[in-house]
Chain A
Amino acid sequence: MDLDALAGCLSSSACLVTQTTSGLIIGMLLFLVAVGLTLIFGVLKVVNFSHGAFYMFGAYFAMTAYQLTGSFALAMLAGAAGTAILGLIFERVFMSRVYGADVLMQLLVCYAFVLIFDDVVRIIWGPEFRSMGMPAAFQVMPLFIAGGVVPPYYLLLIGVALIAAIVLGIGLTRSRIGKVIRAAAHNPGMVSALGINTGLIYGGVFALGGMLAGLAGALAAPVRSLTPGMGFSVLIESFIVTVIGGMGSILGALIGALLLGLIRSFGSLGFPLFTEGLMYLFMVIVLVSKPTGLFGKEAA
């Protein structure tokens, strides 16, 4: 425990800026993965244990597109679009068969695909770790804001994640499709009776969730090494986020992810040997005081 370092940081604007942006970066990437997870659970009532694989595929798709075209924008697009298509196929062909089935069956299907997807990546891209590399446009000196260090690429990353959060929030609450999705989550039988294709909605939601995870993977690809199985550790942290924020809540995922990011960022200064433990401790405190999570709704 190094509380002096933590206190020193809190009283220094440079440190505050650096550590806060560091927390935001970690948090926003986590949010993109976790929000897909929570969205799929909220609508489909399925805990998608294979969600980390979409993060992995997003990163690999982006790397391949970047190597082929040299365009960062196309790389991001490939990461997001590729995983959306993959999500749609996965949901229609496999997951749709286990809706309403025992949780254990859903878990088994997801876990089987975790292994299958990892092997597919190993076959296509090889077992060794890969690196996409930072696009030349972002190979610049970091910005110094109030003495704190902020890399321009991370500003982009935070911006993209924020836009995704806003679009998702507005889209689900204000748009017609959003309302239909929420209605399908609440009462799929009634929505179906009204002539709306719920299968299409479910497929769309799964594709959207996959796309968000894929986008996170694509955004992370320039700064994280790519390996088969890379989605697993992200998945665990995403579960912590959804548990803290409340399963099914988008706002909860955002707040949970940001809190987790800040805990890791400042925790590494004050509790260098207990940073991971702090995350779990926080989760336990939330679960004990509010078992449904910060923004979760009580079961009817």
Chain B
Amino acid sequence: MTRTRTPGISRRSTLALMGAGAMTFAAPWVARAQAKTIKIGMPTILSGRVAQLGTSSRNAVMLEVEKVNAAGGLAGRQIEMVIRDSKGQPQEAARVARELVNTDGCELMIDAEASSGAFAVHEVARDLGVFCIHTNSETSALTADPKQRIPNAFRTARQGVHDSIVGGSYAAAIAKAKGLKKWATCSPDYAYGRDTTGEFTLYLKRFAPDVEIISESWPKLFQPDYTEVVTKILQAKPQALYSCLWGGDLTSYIDQANIYAMFGQMEVFAVNMADYTALTVVKNLPKGIHSGNRYIKSFPATPENAAWGDAYKAKYNEYPTNWSWENATAIMLMAEAAKKANSADGKKIAEVLKGLTIKCPFGADGTVTMRGDDHTLVGYAIGWGTTIPQEPYVPEIKAGDWKTIFELEAEWKKSKGYT
């Protein structure tokens, strides 16, 4: 009996055909997977008293994401932002952050929360291992404290201790020149107010040892009336006043202090004055309030910064805020890191991000750096100047010296036991 091969399709050719078919059908899936959008989760404050800052964070992120997407996306993947309201509540911020990763499938995270929420989101990032950039929390400990540090979390917000070093040094120079020895403070009664005021006075006294704090006021956050605080300060008759009140609290305070003619009786140093949210709202802005820069399109005085501020205003019909530039920087850094890593993977981006320097409109010298050892932004424009009631609001800003900031920051870290 002879076995004859029947004509038809052999097993080998069947396998080859199946393989080819599989390739044909699978190819679009592979291509689709590569081109798949990457979701970036963003918990922020979109309702309540500071909703304006959360909205300005979202606006800035969207402005930059559009540019990244137009240029091909994050390592070839189009970015899809998933932005959720935390209502400014830490527990809600943590819940939203977890949901964004676990339910919505976000692979990266922009944490645009204030400090209280940022620490909560930080714990979620620690737990889930998701790549996360904190964009708004200025509390120094978030990145300075080694106990807080995790490889997947970074910060693009300015740091309280940087502001205090620059502010303390600036204020001390004026105190010495004008003989301002008696100082009063008036700051909101919560962690940010207490810490920032403490750090400012620490450096003020360091640079001007004659300074004495003769009166302290700690109004509640979002307190509607400051009359008793204003009159208390008037009674103390200080030569200078420091305040880190911000937003609506600061504008209320200015309006109420104005009618007591307080600003003519002392030099006022209000670190949060030079932000458009406050500058454009106060109707009778006194001349000569000293302030740290928050976001102002004239500092750094570069065409890039002015163009960014104008582009934001053209798109959203309002000026950016301090939180805007901090969020925009996060997207800029993320895009550059993804490009260098040639990947949108969080771990690879994190590796490249450490120590990465990029060109940035908000840099003191046109660049900013994500410092490798503590994952925080350095080299951003930082300085103090005095206000005038119309644009450019703070015509001259004395830039802080980053070399001095680094030296004193290292000392401060040591004193806190962080290094």
- In Å, the complex CA distance between A31 and B55 comes to 36
B249 contacts partner chain A, Cβ-Cβ < 8 Å:
yes
B258 contacts partner chain A, Cβ-Cβ < 8 Å:
yes
Q: Given the known A-B contacts A19-B235, A225-B281, A227-B49, are A29 and B260 also in contact in the complex, defined by CB atoms under 8 Å?
A: no
Contacting pair A134 B251 (CB below 8 A): no
- In Å, the complex CA distance between A269 and B261 comes to 20
Closest B-chain residue to A234, C-beta based? Answer: B224
Residues of B within 8 A of A224 (CB): 224-225, 252, 255-256
Contacting pair B49 A129 (CB below 8 A): yes
CB within 8 A of B277: which of A128, A233, A276? A128
Contacting pair A154 B52 (CB below 8 A): no
Contacting pair A9 B235 (CB below 8 A): yes
A258 contacts partner chain B, Cβ-Cβ < 8 Å:
no
Binds B, one of A135-143, A167-175, A179-187, A287-295: A135-143
Contacting pair A129 B248 (CB below 8 A): yes
B358 contacts partner chain A, Cβ-Cβ < 8 Å:
no
The listed residue with most B CB atoms (<10 A of its CB), out of A26, A149, A269, is: A149
The listed residue with most B CB atoms (<10 A of its CB), out of A26, A131, A151, A234, is: A131
Closest chain B CB from A152 CB (angstroms): 8
Closest B-chain residue to A8, C-beta based? Answer: B235
Q: Given the known A-B contacts A149-B231, A154-B259, A225-B281, are A220 and B224 also in contact in the complex, defined by CB atoms under 8 Å?
A: yes
Chain A, 1-18, contact with B by CB distance < 8 Å: what is the 0/1 string? 000010001000001001
Chain A, 206-234, contact with B by CB distance < 8 Å: what is the 0/1 string? 00000000000000101111010110011
Closest chain A CB from B49 CB (angstroms): 6
Contacting pair A132 B259 (CB below 8 A): no
Q: Given the known A-B contacts A18-B231, A142-B260, A265-B231, are A233 and B222 also in contact in the complex, defined by CB atoms under 8 Å?
A: yes
A127 contacts partner chain B, Cβ-Cβ < 8 Å:
yes
Closest A-chain residue to B318, C-beta based? Answer: A128
CB within 8 A of B255: which of A122, A223, A227? A223
Contacting pair B49 A229 (CB below 8 A): yes
In chain A, positions 142-194 with a C-beta closer than 8 Å to chain B are 142, 149, 151, 153-154
Residues of B within 8 A of A128 (CB): 51-52, 277, 281
Please list 23 pairs of residues, one from A and one from B, whose beta carbons are closer than 8 Å in the complex, sorted by A's number.
A5-B235, A9-B235, A22-B231, A23-B228, A26-B228, A122-B47, A127-B47, A127-B52, A131-B251, A131-B283, A132-B283, A133-B283, A142-B260, A149-B234, A220-B225, A225-B248, A225-B249, A225-B281, A227-B49, A229-B49, A268-B229, A275-B228, A276-B220
